[in-house]
Amino acid sequence: MQQKPYRIAIFASGSGSNAEQLMTYFSTKKEIEVALLVTNRSKAKAVGRALRFDVPALVLKKEDFDEKQAFLLTELHRMEIDGIVLAGFLLKIPTNLIAAFPEKIINIHPSLLPNFGGEGMYGSHVHEAVQKAQATESGITIHLVNEEYDKGEILFQARCAVHANDSPQTIADRVLALEHAHFAEVCANYFAQFTEKIA
């Protein structure tokens, strides 16, 4: 049997600090490789980060993520992508991709789902809502992606305290530190069931 790494594509719309964390982590692993970065924003910092890791970047327009468009799916197949990781990706994943990668798409959400999830709950909106609700804790949820927004099977959660004097930004910083600490390892452990051992 031919031994080849499991090839993942990272989708990111923004700064890409999680994407960078994933690329750093997998650059030392044989079984899993980051083979592609996909973004909907040409100015996303994530693009520069990918290029520094020699990971090709595919910059697409919003329309290319429409489920009636075959282009993205064709590209993912052409690049022999096996799994997808959403790292701060802001568009809805088209249903044709979800069908083509069943249980092979992982997302990270910056709250303890089901709290502060669903449509419109992304980025700073999440931390503002957490602060407004006077929640005493927040955290991260790493989950599989299905047709329902933020409702796929939960793989992992980690919590952090929220203090009365926290701003949305201090909550965001604490949550992002949790993301960086756990995301890559949770992805690696989950995808391990699909990978081939490489000597």
Report the nearest approach of ligand GRF to the CB of residue 93 (Å).
13
Given the complex with ligand GRF, which of 20 and 195 has the nearer CB atom? 20
Distance CA 27, CA 184 (A): 11
Distances (CA, A) of 19 to 1, 8, 46: 31, 12, 7
Given the complex with ligand GRF, which of 37 and 98 has the nearer CB atom? 37
Distances (CA, A) of 104 to 40, 80, 86, 128: 20, 13, 11, 31
Given the complex with ligand GRF, which of 77 and 125 has the nearer CB atom? 125
Report the nearest approach of ligand GRF to the CB of residue 108 (Å).
5
Query: How many Å is the maximal CA-CA distance in the chain?
Result: 58
Q: Is 2 exposed, middle or buried (0-12, 13-18, 19+ CB in 10 A)?
A: exposed
- Reduce the DSSP state of residue 180 to 3 states and report it: helix
Distance CA 125, CA 85 (A): 22
Given the complex with ligand GRF, which of 107 and 195 has the nearer CB atom? 107
Distances (CA, A) of 7 to 130, 145, 192: 35, 18, 12
Catalytic residue among 109, 127, 143, 182: 109
The type of residue at 153 is E
Report the nearest approach of ligand GRF to the CB of residue 8 (Å).
15
- CB closest to ligand GRF, residue no: 88
Residues that bind ligand GRF (CB under 6 A): 12, 14-19, 87-88, 108-110, 122-123, 176, 179
Catalytic annotation present for 109 = yes
Report the nearest approach of ligand GRF to the CB of residue 14 (Å).
4
Provide the annotated active-site residues. Answer: 109
